[in-house]
Protein backbone atom coordinates (compact mmCIF):
# COMPACT_ATOMS: atom_id res chain seq x y z
CA UNK A 1 0.00 0.00 0.00
CA UNK A 2 1.53 3.32 -1.06
CA UNK A 3 0.39 6.84 -0.40
CA UNK A 4 0.96 9.91 -2.55
CA UNK A 5 -0.06 13.41 -1.52
CA UNK A 6 -1.78 15.98 -3.73
CA UNK A 7 -0.71 19.28 -2.17
CA UNK A 8 -3.12 22.12 -2.89
CA UNK A 9 -1.74 25.27 -1.42
CA UNK A 10 -4.34 27.85 -2.42
CA UNK A 11 -5.71 30.32 0.13
CA UNK A 12 -8.37 29.08 2.55
CA UNK A 13 -8.61 25.75 4.28
CA UNK A 14 -6.12 23.06 3.31
CA UNK A 15 -7.74 20.77 0.76
CA UNK A 16 -4.71 18.57 0.18
CA UNK A 17 -5.53 14.89 -0.07
CA UNK A 18 -4.00 11.46 -0.37
CA UNK A 19 -3.99 9.01 -3.22
CA UNK A 20 -3.76 5.48 -1.84
CA UNK A 21 -2.54 2.79 -4.23
CA UNK A 22 -3.42 -0.55 -2.72
CA UNK A 23 -2.44 -3.77 -4.50
CA UNK A 24 -2.96 -6.20 -1.63
CA UNK A 25 -5.94 -8.47 -0.95
CA UNK A 26 -8.59 -7.02 1.38
CA UNK A 27 -8.28 -3.46 0.06
CA UNK A 28 -12.02 -2.90 0.61
CA UNK A 29 -11.53 -3.18 4.37
CA UNK A 30 -8.81 -0.56 4.38
CA UNK A 31 -10.98 1.63 2.14
CA UNK A 32 -13.93 1.30 4.52
CA UNK A 33 -11.70 2.29 7.45
CA UNK A 34 -10.80 5.50 5.59
CA UNK A 35 -14.41 6.23 4.61
CA UNK A 36 -16.05 5.82 8.04
CA UNK A 37 -14.60 8.93 9.76
CA UNK A 38 -15.49 11.08 6.74
CA UNK A 39 -19.18 10.12 6.58
CA UNK A 40 -20.70 11.53 9.76
CA UNK A 41 -23.81 12.71 7.90
CA UNK A 42 -24.43 9.48 6.03
CA UNK A 43 -22.88 7.77 3.05
CA UNK A 44 -23.94 7.57 -0.58
CA UNK A 45 -22.43 4.82 -2.72
CA UNK A 46 -22.54 5.58 -6.43
CA UNK A 47 -21.64 2.86 -8.89
CA UNK A 48 -22.63 1.43 -12.26
CA UNK A 49 -24.25 -1.90 -13.06
CA UNK A 50 -21.09 -3.81 -13.95
CA UNK A 51 -19.10 -2.57 -10.98
CA UNK A 52 -22.07 -3.19 -8.67
CA UNK A 53 -22.10 -6.80 -9.82
CA UNK A 54 -18.34 -7.42 -9.74
CA UNK A 55 -17.17 -5.35 -6.79
CA UNK A 56 -20.25 -3.90 -5.06
CA UNK A 57 -20.89 -6.74 -2.60
CA UNK A 58 -17.38 -6.92 -1.10
CA UNK A 59 -17.18 -3.12 -0.75
CA UNK A 60 -20.66 -2.82 0.75
CA UNK A 61 -19.95 -5.62 3.17
CA UNK A 62 -16.76 -3.91 4.34
CA UNK A 63 -18.64 -0.62 4.78
CA UNK A 64 -21.35 -2.35 6.84
CA UNK A 65 -18.69 -3.98 8.98
CA UNK A 66 -17.61 -0.42 9.86
CA UNK A 67 -21.16 0.46 10.92
CA UNK A 68 -22.07 2.34 7.74
CA UNK A 69 -25.38 1.90 5.93
CA UNK A 70 -24.67 3.20 2.44
CA UNK A 71 -27.42 4.60 0.22
CA UNK A 72 -26.52 2.78 -2.96
CA UNK A 73 -27.34 4.33 -6.33
CA UNK A 74 -26.55 2.27 -9.41
CA UNK A 75 -26.55 3.94 -12.83
CA UNK A 76 -26.38 2.20 -16.21
CA UNK A 77 -22.85 1.65 -17.58
CA UNK A 78 -21.42 4.08 -20.04
CA UNK A 79 -21.02 7.67 -21.10
CA UNK A 80 -24.83 8.10 -21.33
CA UNK A 81 -24.97 8.27 -17.53
CA UNK A 82 -22.92 11.47 -17.54
CA UNK A 83 -26.06 13.55 -18.03
CA UNK A 84 -27.99 16.20 -16.12
CA UNK A 85 -30.94 13.81 -15.99
CA UNK A 86 -28.83 11.30 -14.07
CA UNK A 87 -27.60 14.05 -11.75
CA UNK A 88 -31.20 14.62 -10.67
CA UNK A 89 -31.82 10.90 -10.16
CA UNK A 90 -28.73 10.47 -8.00
CA UNK A 91 -29.27 13.64 -5.96
CA UNK A 92 -32.92 12.76 -5.34
CA UNK A 93 -31.95 9.28 -4.13
CA UNK A 94 -29.46 10.80 -1.68
CA UNK A 95 -32.04 13.31 -0.47
CA UNK A 96 -34.60 10.55 0.09
CA UNK A 97 -32.13 8.73 2.27
CA UNK A 98 -31.73 11.84 4.40
CA UNK A 99 -28.03 12.54 3.84
CA UNK A 100 -26.95 15.78 5.46
CA UNK A 101 -24.13 18.22 4.80
CA UNK A 102 -21.60 16.14 6.71
CA UNK A 103 -22.29 13.22 4.39
CA UNK A 104 -19.84 11.72 1.90
CA UNK A 105 -20.39 10.22 -1.52
CA UNK A 106 -18.21 7.27 -2.44
CA UNK A 107 -17.79 7.03 -6.23
CA UNK A 108 -16.97 3.38 -6.94
CA UNK A 109 -16.36 2.85 -10.63
CA UNK A 110 -14.69 4.16 -13.75
CA UNK A 111 -14.35 7.71 -14.99
CA UNK A 112 -18.07 7.95 -15.72
CA UNK A 113 -19.03 7.25 -12.11
CA UNK A 114 -16.17 9.43 -10.90
CA UNK A 115 -17.08 12.45 -13.03
CA UNK A 116 -20.80 12.09 -12.28
CA UNK A 117 -20.25 11.44 -8.56
CA UNK A 118 -17.83 14.33 -8.23
CA UNK A 119 -20.33 16.64 -9.90
CA UNK A 120 -23.28 15.51 -7.77
CA UNK A 121 -21.18 15.86 -4.60
CA UNK A 122 -20.17 19.37 -5.60
CA UNK A 123 -23.77 20.58 -5.90
CA UNK A 124 -25.78 18.37 -3.52
CA UNK A 125 -26.62 20.49 -0.44
CA UNK A 126 -24.16 23.00 -1.94
CA UNK A 127 -21.36 20.53 -1.64
CA UNK A 128 -20.56 17.36 0.27
CA UNK A 129 -17.40 15.27 0.46
CA UNK A 130 -16.55 12.99 -2.43
CA UNK A 131 -14.25 9.99 -2.08
CA UNK A 132 -13.02 8.53 -5.34
CA UNK A 133 -12.61 4.75 -5.48
CA UNK A 134 -11.61 4.27 -9.13
CA UNK A 135 -12.02 0.77 -10.56
CA UNK A 136 -10.84 1.23 -14.16
CA UNK A 137 -7.23 1.79 -15.15
CA UNK A 138 -8.28 5.02 -16.83
CA UNK A 139 -9.83 6.33 -13.64
CA UNK A 140 -6.89 5.16 -11.48
CA UNK A 141 -4.25 6.79 -13.66
CA UNK A 142 -6.17 9.92 -14.55
CA UNK A 143 -9.85 10.70 -13.97
CA UNK A 144 -10.01 10.22 -10.18
CA UNK A 145 -7.20 12.69 -9.48
CA UNK A 146 -7.42 16.43 -9.94
CA UNK A 147 -10.97 17.40 -9.03
CA UNK A 148 -12.47 17.92 -12.48
CA UNK A 149 -16.08 16.77 -12.48
CA UNK A 150 -18.76 17.01 -15.08
CA UNK A 151 -21.48 15.71 -17.31
CA UNK A 152 -22.12 15.95 -21.04
CA UNK A 153 -24.54 18.01 -23.09
CA UNK A 154 -25.85 17.02 -26.52
CA UNK A 155 -23.37 19.60 -27.91
CA UNK A 156 -20.32 17.92 -26.45
CA UNK A 157 -18.49 16.27 -23.63
CA UNK A 158 -18.00 17.73 -20.17
CA UNK A 159 -19.71 21.01 -21.06
CA UNK A 160 -21.26 21.24 -17.57
CA UNK A 161 -18.95 20.71 -14.65
CA UNK A 162 -17.16 21.94 -11.56
CA UNK A 163 -13.85 21.66 -9.79
CA UNK A 164 -14.42 19.60 -6.65
CA UNK A 165 -11.37 17.97 -5.14
CA UNK A 166 -11.92 14.58 -3.50
CA UNK A 167 -11.15 14.08 0.18
CA UNK A 168 -9.35 10.88 -0.78
CA UNK A 169 -8.57 8.76 -3.82
CA UNK A 170 -8.40 5.05 -3.08
CA UNK A 171 -7.17 2.92 -5.98
CA UNK A 172 -7.58 -0.81 -5.40
CA UNK A 173 -5.32 -2.13 -8.14
CA UNK A 174 -6.59 -5.70 -7.65
CA UNK A 175 -9.99 -4.54 -8.99
CA UNK A 176 -8.40 -4.14 -12.42
CA UNK A 177 -8.22 -7.93 -12.80
CA UNK A 178 -11.86 -8.01 -13.97
CA UNK A 179 -11.46 -5.24 -16.54
CA UNK A 180 -12.14 -6.04 -20.20
CA UNK A 181 -9.13 -5.93 -22.55
CA UNK A 182 -10.71 -2.97 -24.30
CA UNK A 183 -11.07 -0.95 -21.11
CA UNK A 184 -7.55 -1.90 -20.01
CA UNK A 185 -6.19 -0.59 -23.31
CA UNK A 186 -8.26 2.57 -22.95
CA UNK A 187 -6.58 3.30 -19.62
CA UNK A 188 -3.15 2.63 -21.09
CA UNK A 189 -3.75 5.47 -23.55
CA UNK A 190 -3.76 7.98 -20.68
CA UNK A 191 -0.53 6.43 -19.34
CA UNK A 192 1.04 6.96 -22.77
CA UNK A 193 -0.19 10.56 -22.56
CA UNK A 194 1.48 11.10 -19.18
CA UNK A 195 4.73 9.66 -20.51
CA UNK A 196 4.61 11.71 -23.71
CA UNK A 197 3.99 15.05 -21.97
CA UNK A 198 6.03 14.62 -18.81
CA UNK A 199 8.19 11.50 -18.51
CA UNK A 200 10.40 9.92 -21.15
CA UNK A 201 11.15 7.23 -18.57
CA UNK A 202 7.49 6.23 -18.34
CA UNK A 203 7.13 6.29 -22.13
CA UNK A 204 10.18 4.04 -22.50
CA UNK A 205 8.90 1.67 -19.83
CA UNK A 206 5.75 1.23 -21.92
CA UNK A 207 7.82 0.69 -25.05
CA UNK A 208 9.80 -2.03 -23.26
CA UNK A 209 6.80 -3.74 -21.69
CA UNK A 210 3.82 -3.04 -23.95
CA UNK A 211 2.76 -6.69 -24.20
CA UNK A 212 2.89 -7.18 -20.42
CA UNK A 213 0.85 -4.01 -19.95
CA UNK A 214 -1.74 -5.15 -22.47
CA UNK A 215 -1.95 -8.51 -20.70
CA UNK A 216 -2.65 -6.74 -17.40
CA UNK A 217 0.50 -7.77 -15.50
CA UNK A 218 -0.47 -6.75 -11.93
CA UNK A 219 2.94 -5.49 -10.81
CA UNK A 220 3.40 -3.47 -13.95
CA UNK A 221 -0.08 -1.97 -13.62
CA UNK A 222 0.71 -0.97 -10.04
CA UNK A 223 3.84 0.80 -11.24
CA UNK A 224 1.97 2.53 -14.07
CA UNK A 225 -0.75 3.74 -11.67
CA UNK A 226 1.86 5.06 -9.27
CA UNK A 227 3.93 6.87 -11.88
CA UNK A 228 0.86 8.34 -13.57
CA UNK A 229 -0.63 9.56 -10.29
CA UNK A 230 2.68 11.15 -9.32
CA UNK A 231 2.74 13.08 -12.62
CA UNK A 232 -0.88 14.11 -12.44
CA UNK A 233 -0.65 15.10 -8.75
CA UNK A 234 2.33 17.34 -9.47
CA UNK A 235 0.67 19.03 -12.44
CA UNK A 236 -2.60 19.56 -10.56
CA UNK A 237 -0.81 20.93 -7.49
CA UNK A 238 0.90 23.53 -9.67
CA UNK A 239 -2.30 24.60 -11.48
CA UNK A 240 -5.40 23.38 -9.69
CA UNK A 241 -7.92 25.22 -11.88
CA UNK A 242 -6.17 25.13 -15.23
CA UNK A 243 -5.54 28.84 -15.37
CA UNK A 244 -3.06 28.34 -18.17
CA UNK A 245 0.13 29.55 -16.56
CA UNK A 246 0.66 26.51 -14.37
CA UNK A 247 0.66 23.87 -17.05
CA UNK A 248 -2.43 21.79 -16.32
CA UNK A 249 -3.54 22.33 -19.90
CA UNK A 250 -0.77 19.94 -20.95
CA UNK A 251 -2.90 17.08 -19.62
CA UNK A 252 -5.21 17.75 -22.56
CA UNK A 253 -2.65 16.34 -25.01
CA UNK A 254 -4.62 14.34 -27.56
CA UNK A 255 -7.94 15.55 -26.17
CA UNK A 256 -8.81 18.40 -28.55
CA UNK A 257 -9.28 16.07 -31.50
CA UNK A 258 -9.94 13.14 -29.14
CA UNK A 259 -13.08 14.69 -27.65
CA UNK A 260 -14.38 15.52 -31.11
CA UNK A 261 -13.83 11.92 -32.24
CA UNK A 262 -15.39 10.57 -29.05
CA UNK A 263 -18.52 12.72 -29.33
CA UNK A 264 -18.90 11.97 -33.04
CA UNK A 265 -18.61 8.23 -32.40
CA UNK A 266 -21.35 8.05 -29.75
CA UNK A 267 -24.26 7.67 -32.15
CA UNK A 268 -22.97 4.71 -34.17
CA UNK A 269 -19.90 2.86 -32.84
CA UNK A 270 -18.80 4.52 -29.58
CA UNK A 271 -15.06 4.83 -29.03
CA UNK A 272 -13.79 4.42 -25.48
CA UNK A 273 -12.37 7.63 -24.07
CA UNK A 274 -8.83 6.27 -24.22
CA UNK A 275 -9.28 5.03 -27.80
CA UNK A 276 -10.33 8.51 -28.87
CA UNK A 277 -7.37 9.97 -26.98
CA UNK A 278 -5.00 7.54 -28.74
CA UNK A 279 -6.20 8.82 -32.12
CA UNK A 280 -6.14 12.39 -30.81
CA UNK A 281 -2.50 12.01 -29.76
CA UNK A 282 -1.61 10.81 -33.26
CA UNK A 283 -3.41 13.85 -34.66
CA UNK A 284 -1.52 16.14 -32.28
CA UNK A 285 1.78 14.53 -33.28
CA UNK A 286 1.03 15.19 -36.93
CA UNK A 287 0.00 18.79 -36.26
CA UNK A 288 3.13 19.39 -34.17
CA UNK A 289 5.40 18.04 -36.87
CA UNK A 290 3.70 20.13 -39.55
CA UNK A 291 3.90 23.33 -37.50
CA UNK A 292 7.57 22.66 -36.87
CA UNK A 293 7.00 22.99 -33.12
CA UNK A 294 6.56 19.36 -32.17
CA UNK A 295 8.81 16.31 -32.23
CA UNK A 296 8.93 15.28 -35.91
CA UNK A 297 9.47 11.62 -35.04
CA UNK A 298 6.64 11.39 -32.51
CA UNK A 299 3.96 9.92 -34.77
CA UNK A 300 6.39 7.21 -35.92
CA UNK A 301 7.12 6.23 -32.32
CA UNK A 302 3.60 6.70 -30.95
CA UNK A 303 1.74 4.65 -33.56
CA UNK A 304 3.53 1.31 -33.00
CA UNK A 305 3.33 1.70 -29.22
CA UNK A 306 -0.41 2.43 -29.28
CA UNK A 307 -0.92 -0.51 -31.66
CA UNK A 308 0.97 -2.89 -29.36
CA UNK A 309 -1.17 -1.70 -26.45
CA UNK A 310 -4.34 -2.65 -28.33
CA UNK A 311 -5.39 0.88 -29.26
CA UNK A 312 -6.64 2.15 -32.63
CA UNK A 313 -4.08 3.86 -34.86
CA UNK A 314 -6.07 4.36 -38.09
CA UNK A 315 -6.36 8.11 -37.68
CA UNK A 316 -7.19 8.90 -41.29
CA UNK A 317 -10.12 6.50 -41.32
CA UNK A 318 -11.64 8.40 -38.38
CA UNK A 319 -11.07 11.95 -39.60
CA UNK A 320 -13.70 13.85 -41.54
CA UNK A 321 -14.77 17.48 -41.91
CA UNK A 322 -17.83 16.69 -39.76
CA UNK A 323 -15.66 15.40 -36.92
CA UNK A 324 -13.25 18.31 -37.10
CA UNK A 325 -16.13 20.79 -37.11
CA UNK A 326 -16.74 19.69 -33.52
CA UNK A 327 -13.35 20.92 -32.42
CA UNK A 328 -14.72 24.46 -32.49
CA UNK A 329 -17.27 23.77 -29.75
CA UNK A 330 -14.70 22.40 -27.36
CA UNK A 331 -14.96 24.36 -24.13
CA UNK A 332 -11.25 25.13 -24.07
CA UNK A 333 -11.76 27.39 -27.02
CA UNK A 334 -10.65 30.96 -26.38
CA UNK A 335 -10.80 33.88 -28.78
CA UNK A 336 -11.56 31.73 -31.77
CA UNK A 337 -8.52 29.56 -31.15
CA UNK A 338 -8.04 26.38 -29.24
CA UNK A 339 -5.19 25.77 -26.82
CA UNK A 340 -3.41 22.95 -28.58
CA UNK A 341 -0.93 20.76 -26.72
CA UNK A 342 2.20 19.60 -28.53
CA UNK A 343 5.01 17.30 -27.48
CA UNK A 344 8.31 18.94 -28.44
CA UNK A 345 10.29 15.88 -27.41
CA UNK A 346 9.08 12.80 -25.56
CA UNK A 347 8.62 13.75 -21.93
CA UNK A 348 8.19 17.46 -22.64
CA UNK A 349 5.21 19.47 -23.88
CA UNK A 350 4.00 22.95 -24.72
CA UNK A 351 0.71 24.69 -25.45
CA UNK A 352 0.11 26.78 -28.56
CA UNK A 353 -3.01 28.64 -29.74
CA UNK A 354 -4.35 27.22 -32.97
CA UNK A 355 -7.30 28.20 -35.16
CA UNK A 356 -9.69 25.28 -35.75
CA UNK A 357 -9.50 25.98 -39.50
CA UNK A 358 -5.73 25.53 -39.47
CA UNK A 359 -6.08 22.29 -37.56
CA UNK A 360 -8.61 21.02 -40.05
CA UNK A 361 -6.42 21.95 -42.99
CA UNK A 362 -3.38 20.12 -41.64
CA UNK A 363 -5.27 17.00 -40.65
CA UNK A 364 -7.38 16.65 -43.76
CA UNK A 365 -4.35 17.34 -45.98
CA UNK A 366 -2.64 14.42 -44.28
CA UNK A 367 -5.63 12.28 -45.07
CA UNK A 368 -5.74 13.17 -48.76
CA UNK A 369 -2.08 12.31 -49.23
CA UNK A 370 -2.67 8.71 -48.19
N1 LIG B 1 -12.18 14.09 -14.57
C2 LIG B 1 -11.10 13.87 -15.27
O3 LIG B 1 -10.04 14.47 -15.04
C4 LIG B 1 -11.14 12.84 -16.36
C5 LIG B 1 -9.95 12.41 -16.95
C6 LIG B 1 -10.00 11.41 -17.92
C7 LIG B 1 -11.23 10.88 -18.30
N8 LIG B 1 -12.37 11.34 -17.72
C9 LIG B 1 -13.68 10.78 -18.09
O10 LIG B 1 -13.68 9.40 -17.74
C11 LIG B 1 -14.65 8.73 -18.56
C12 LIG B 1 -14.08 7.42 -19.04
O13 LIG B 1 -13.75 6.61 -17.94
P14 LIG B 1 -13.62 5.04 -18.08
O15 LIG B 1 -12.81 4.71 -19.26
O16 LIG B 1 -13.22 4.55 -16.75
O17 LIG B 1 -15.10 4.60 -18.48
P18 LIG B 1 -16.31 3.96 -17.67
O19 LIG B 1 -16.47 4.57 -16.35
O20 LIG B 1 -17.46 3.99 -18.60
O21 LIG B 1 -15.84 2.44 -17.49
C22 LIG B 1 -15.71 1.61 -18.61
C23 LIG B 1 -16.43 0.27 -18.40
O24 LIG B 1 -15.70 -0.51 -17.46
C25 LIG B 1 -16.59 -1.06 -16.50
N26 LIG B 1 -15.81 -1.29 -15.28
C27 LIG B 1 -15.41 -0.38 -14.35
N28 LIG B 1 -14.60 -0.96 -13.45
C29 LIG B 1 -14.50 -2.26 -13.79
C30 LIG B 1 -13.80 -3.37 -13.25
N31 LIG B 1 -12.98 -3.23 -12.19
N32 LIG B 1 -13.95 -4.58 -13.85
C33 LIG B 1 -14.73 -4.70 -14.97
N34 LIG B 1 -15.39 -3.70 -15.53
C35 LIG B 1 -15.28 -2.48 -14.96
C36 LIG B 1 -17.68 -0.04 -16.38
O37 LIG B 1 -18.85 -0.64 -15.89
C38 LIG B 1 -17.83 0.40 -17.84
O39 LIG B 1 -18.69 -0.48 -18.51
C40 LIG B 1 -15.00 9.67 -19.68
O41 LIG B 1 -16.28 10.19 -19.47
C42 LIG B 1 -13.97 10.78 -19.55
O43 LIG B 1 -14.44 12.02 -20.00
C44 LIG B 1 -12.34 12.29 -16.76
ZN1 LIG C 1 -8.64 11.76 -20.89
Task: Dump the DSSP string for 155-198.
Answer: TEEEEEEEE---SEEEEEGGGGGG--HHHHHHHHHHHHHHHHHH
Quote the pLDDT of residue 335.
63
Q: Report the greatest alpha carbon distance in the chain.
A: 64
Is 70 exceeded by the pLDDT of residue 334?
Answer: no
- Identify the nearest ligand to the CA of 341 by its number: 2
- For residue 356, how far is its CA from the centre of ligand 2 (angstroms)? 20
Is 70 exceeded by the pLDDT of residue 115?
Answer: yes
Residue having the nearest C-alpha atom to atom 38 of ligand 1: 77
Contacts of residues 88-97 at CB distance under 8 Å and 24 or more positions apart, as own/partner, are: 90/44, 90/46, 90/116, 90/117, 90/120, 91/120, 91/123, 91/124, 93/44, 94/44, 94/120, 94/124, 95/124, 96/71, 97/42, 97/44, 97/71
Number of other CB atoms surrounding residue 5 within 10 Å:
11
Task: Please say if 273 is a catalytic residue.
Answer: yes
Nearest to 348, CA basis, from 308, 293, 278, 271: 293
Task: Please say if 252 is a catalytic residue.
Answer: yes
| Cα separation, 125 vs 95, whole angstroms | 9
- For residue 257, how far is its CA from the centre of ligand 1 (angstroms)? 19
The model's pLDDT over 312-331, given as tens digits with 9 standing for 90+, comes to: 999 999 999 888 888 866 54
- Identify the nearest ligand to the CA of 190 by its number: 2
**pTM of the complete model:** 0.95
Quote the pLDDT of residue 209.
98
Provide the pLDDT confidence category of residue 368 given band limits of 50, 70 and 90. low
Quote the pLDDT of residue 330.
54
| Cα separation, 323 vs 313, whole angstroms | 16
Which residue of the set 79, 242, 249, 299 is catalytic?
242
Pocket test for ligand 1, best of 138, 148, 189 (most atoms within 8 A of CB): 138
Task: Please say if 272 is a catalytic residue.
Answer: no
* Residue-averaged pLDDT of the chain: 94
Provide the pLDDT confidence category of residue 337 given band limits of 50, 70 and 90. confident
Helices (H), the chain: 27-35, 49-54, 56-65, 84-96, 111-123, 137-138, 181-198, 200-208, 210-214, 218-238, 255-265, 273-291, 298-308, 315-318, 321-325, 356-369
- For residue 102, how far is its CA from the centre of ligand 1 (angstroms)? 27
Eight-state DSSP code of residue 139: I
Is 90 exceeded by the pLDDT of residue 226?
Answer: yes
Pocket test for ligand 1, best of 74, 254, 273 (most atoms within 8 A of CB): 273
Quote the pLDDT of residue 86.
98
- For residue 290, how far is its CA from the centre of ligand 2 (angstroms)? 24
Share of the chain above pLDDT 70, in %: 95
Provide the pLDDT confidence category of residue 15 given band limits of 50, 70 and 90. confident
| Cα separation, 200 vs 221, whole angstroms | 18
Task: Please say if 148 is a catalytic residue.
Answer: yes
Question: Mean pLDDT across the stretch 216-239?
Answer: 95
- Identify the nearest ligand to the CA of 271 by its number: 1
Quote the pLDDT of residue 238.
86
Is 80 exceeded by the pLDDT of residue 28?
Answer: yes
Residue having the nearest C-alpha atom to atom 14 of ligand 1: 111
The model's pLDDT over 119-160, given as tens digits with 9 standing for 90+, comes to: 999 999 999 999 999 999 999 999 999 999 999 998 888 999
- For residue 134, how far is its CA from the centre of ligand 1 (angstroms)? 8
Amino acid sequence: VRRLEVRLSAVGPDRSYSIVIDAAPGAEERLAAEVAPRAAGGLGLLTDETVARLHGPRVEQALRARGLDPARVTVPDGEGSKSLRTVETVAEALAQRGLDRRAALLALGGGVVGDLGGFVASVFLRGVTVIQAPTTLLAQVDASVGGKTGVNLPSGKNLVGTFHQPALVYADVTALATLSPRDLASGLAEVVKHGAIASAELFELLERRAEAARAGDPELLEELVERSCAIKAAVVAADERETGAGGRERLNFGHTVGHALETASLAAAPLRHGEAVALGMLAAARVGARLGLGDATLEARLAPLLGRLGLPVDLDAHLSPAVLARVGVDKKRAGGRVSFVLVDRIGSSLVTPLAPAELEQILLAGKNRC
